[in-house]
A and B are shown apart, each in its own frame.
Chain A
Amino acid sequence: MAEAISDRESKILGIIETARAKRAKFRDPHITMSHGAGGKATSTLVEGLFVPAFASPALESLADAAALSVDGVQLAMTTDAFVVKPLRFPGGSIGGLAVNGTVNDLAMGGARPLALTLSLVLEEGLPAEILRAEVDAIACAARAAEVEIVAGDTKVVERGLADGMYICTAGLGRRDPRASLAPDQLAPGDRILLSGSIGEHGTAIMLARGELGLDADIESDTRSLWPAVDGLFDAAGVGVHCLRDATRGGVASVLNELARASGVAIVVREADVPVAATVAGAAELLGIDPMYVANEGKFVAFVAAEHAAQALAALRALPGGEAAAEIGEVKTEPPGMVLVETAFGGRRVMDQLVGDPLPRIC
């Protein structure tokens, strides 16, 4: 009897396994907010509709930036859209976010950012001073990131349509020869480094909307990540296997994507994940897990074990990198899963984000 039951159980598990391994299908009758949340619904859209339709090898790797080679020159190219609400928030605004978000996609592809394009979708009635402030913010962030704005476009839509402004960008960078990165290059034994404390951007936006009646001194962490990547390449070059910035869906979503892409298990030690006390407090009150909250200036790096110590030292030596930490390790079994050793001593699975705790954060 016991034998029969376990046969039946493994048969059912087999059915589930097959279903989960299939490429995500996009079957929904219309777009809901969850399709923009970076979780499961977004995957169905990207992997079930866009990637098959465009059939490009560079696209299929699902990296933050496409790796291109033009006459032997190693380039990276990316595009991004920004619809954050409100336009200004503690620690930044939509303009700076657009520049940093785009150069960070390039940096995560191991590329030094070179040039950006900028398309502005403006709402009829937008006060000129708000536009001026955002143009200044863009110029300032571009200077700081040492990247040029080389082309642009402007469109205006009727009042009520674009919540002030949306920004679309494209970014071009040159891939750095010191490292070779890919989302499917994680190897068992790799150490997982986190470039700083997490959850600040998402929490700052949430509080800035003023819907929660909660006040705390939390600023967005938006900034260019190239200097940190540059330092990391100097210290650990070939030992760096993959980089990913933990934006929408937070560190948890990034780790899930990569565990699936590389077919490995990831184990995270919760107690070693840096979270500022203010962010931890707000998350506690709101019942959310900082591991799922968006960042705009933090990344995870997968580094070969023998290079991990120098890599971590390099991250910590940079301004703003003081809280960088090694948070876990890549394992073999069970493949595609992210497990957390909780600070309390238990173990659980940290799944992909389902649904959207907070729309329009970037």
Chain B
Amino acid sequence: MRFVDEFRDAELGRSLAGEIMASVESERHYKIMEVCGGHTHSIYKYGIDDLLPPNVELVHGPGCPVCVIPMGRVDDGISLAREPGVIFTCFGDMLRVPGSQQTLLDAKAEGADVRIVYSPLDALRIAKQNPEREVVFFAIGFETTAPSTALTVRRAKAESVSNFSVMCSHVTIVPPLRALLESPDLRLDGFIGPGHVATIVGARPFQFLPQQYGKPVAISGFEPLDLLQSVLMVLRQLAAGRAEVENQYARVVPWEGNLRALEVMSEVFALRPHFEWRGLGFISQSALRLADEYSEWDAEQRFPVPGVRVADPKACQCGEVLKGVIKPWECKVFGTACTPERAIGTCMVSPEGACAAYYNYGRFAREREVV
């Protein structure tokens, strides 16, 4: 594939891996967090961990949009999906995320009309095709997906589609990063910045990482060469004692972001005063709701939503895992109360979460030789 294979050249990969090897001090242990779930996915898909020296550890961050949705919120979605006459639409990976009692997939099996869509516009189309039904879209994701939700809501208003509404659970990336960094026991040396989010918000919002916390950042693309190069950029900053935002993904990410997308977001959304993150607790101003002018399309205004908070079990230590303070297996509930089949915390929900990955196979990939 042209414009794809070029970024997956194994030869170039080996040479980058060599440069990484040359830029680390052998007695120092490096922990670099890749913030975005998409990066975690690429790291697994291409076996990037395997190409790094053993003292360079990648810590999977809080950037998996489905895993951070708290149980109470999933319960609210299920409650909406069970409303008579409702067609509940969401992205496919949301179906399996556990609420306090069940998943959306279970609710579907019990008769709720839950449908997978690939974009919010698909949900709007379903609403137009079924004027006698109420169509709700479960909007999740970081700044990457928020603009398309905003555009869809704006279009619903422009076209007066009155049987369409959005359960807005969009979140923003900077507040959870700040929350992690405020923690006194943080053990991270640097960050691989989220390329897709940065395409919308720009590279500028990540400047607080070096400026306030002294941590180097490389905004990264999603191909294997992008990731290796970004790791190298962070390591070189560390070696030189520098801390700044470098833009590895400059072919896509503008420093100032996508102004039109930001404009439509600020028109359609308003900040929630606080929002709960699975495993991380409440974080101020970390999520979006529909702005008052669009409240007619807000599913939480239109339908009764239980809004019952379901506390993460006290023993869950996702926060510590994300901060790199403990390894997955050091968590009190790892492998016993918390397993991929019955996940408690965000790190176990998605197969790419740090705990699920370790539970399923990380221990083999790292520790055992193939014979």
Contact = CB atoms under 8 A, between A and B. Distances in A.
B365 A34 contact: no
A308 B311 CA distance: 57
A346 B49 contact: yes
B118 A211 contact: yes
**Which 4 pairs, one residue from A and one from B, show the smallest C-beta to C-beta distance?**
A346-B47, A349-B361, A346-B50, A333-B371
Interface stretch (A162-170, A216-224, A312-320, A336-344): A336-344
A211 B365 CA distance: 37
Query: Looking at chain B, what size class is its interface with the partner chain?
Result: 35 or more
A346 B231 CA distance: 15
Interface string B354-368: 000001110111001
26 contacts: A12-B329, A12-B336, A13-B329, A13-B335, A13-B363, A19-B335, A31-B109, A32-B108, A32-B109, A33-B108, A34-B105, A211-B118, A265-B370, A280-B1, A333-B368, A333-B371, A342-B46, A343-B10, A344-B8, A344-B48, A345-B10, A345-B51, A346-B48, A346-B49, A347-B50, A355-B95
Given A13-B329, A349-B364, A331 B370 contact: yes
B105 A346 contact: no
A229 B242 CA distance: 62
A2 interface: no
B370 A339 contact: yes
Given A12-B329, A12-B335, A337-B364, 11 more contacts: A9-B329, A9-B330, A15-B336, A16-B339, A32-B106, A34-B105, A289-B45, A333-B368, A333-B370, A344-B13, A354-B351
Interface of B: 1, 4, 8, 10, 13-14, 17, 44-51, 92, 95-96, 105-106, 108-110, 118, 122, 224, 327, 329-330, 334-336, 339-340, 351, 359-361, 363-365, 368-371
Nearest to A357: B92
Best-buried of A19, A284, A346 by chain B (most CB within 10 Å): A346
A310 interface: no
A281 interface: yes
B13 A345 contact: yes
A16 B4 CA distance: 39
Nearest to A28: B106
A30 B110 contact: yes
A132 interface: no
Given A33-B105, A347-B47, A267 B370 contact: yes
Interface string A5-49: 100110011011001000000000111111000000000000000
Contact of A342 (B45, B329, B368): B45
Contacts of B360: 349, 351
B-side interface mostly: helix
Contacts of B50: 346-348
A357 B351 CA distance: 14
A34 B369 CA distance: 33
Contacts of A19: 335, 339
A159 B304 CA distance: 35
Contacts of A340: 47
B334 A12 contact: yes
B339 A344 contact: no
Contacts of A280: 1
A150 interface: no
Contacts of A281: 1
Contacts of B364: 334, 337, 339, 349
Nearest to A265: B370
Contacts of B95: 355
A332 B106 contact: no
A29 B103 CA distance: 12
B34 to A, nearest CB: 15
A73 interface: no
Contact of B224 (A13, A284, A344): A344
A203 B49 CA distance: 30
Contacts of B51: 344-346
A284 B369 CA distance: 31
Contact of B14 (A12, A211, A289, A345): A345
A267 B49 CA distance: 18
A211 B10 CA distance: 35
A247 B246 CA distance: 45
B365 A349 contact: yes
Contacts of B351: 351, 354
Contacts of A34: 96, 105
Interface in A275-295: 277, 280-281, 284, 289
A346 B47 CA distance: 4
Contact of B47 (A332, A334, A348, A354): A348
A19 B110 CA distance: 29
Contacts of B371: 265, 331-333
B1 A344 contact: no
B96 A355 contact: yes
A212 interface: yes
Given A348-B47, A349-B361, A351-B360, A334 B370 contact: yes
A284 B7 CA distance: 13
A343 B9 CA distance: 8
Nearest to A281: B1
Contacts of A33: 105, 108-109
Contacts of A347: 47, 50, 365
A33 B50 CA distance: 35
Nearest to B359: A16
Contacts of B330: 5, 8-9
B105 A344 contact: no
A43 B365 CA distance: 24
Contact of B368 (A211, A284, A289, A334): A334
Contacts of A277: 1
Contact of A29 (B1, B106, B118, B359): B106
Contact of A351 (B106, B108, B361): B361
Nearest to B336: A15
Nearest to A289: B45
Contacts of A355: 95-96
B250 to A, nearest CB: 22
Interface string A246-265: 00000000000000000001
Contact of B1 (A284, A333, A339, A357): A284
Contacts of A331: 370-371
A359 B226 CA distance: 34
Best-buried of A8, A34, A267 by chain B (most CB within 10 Å): A34
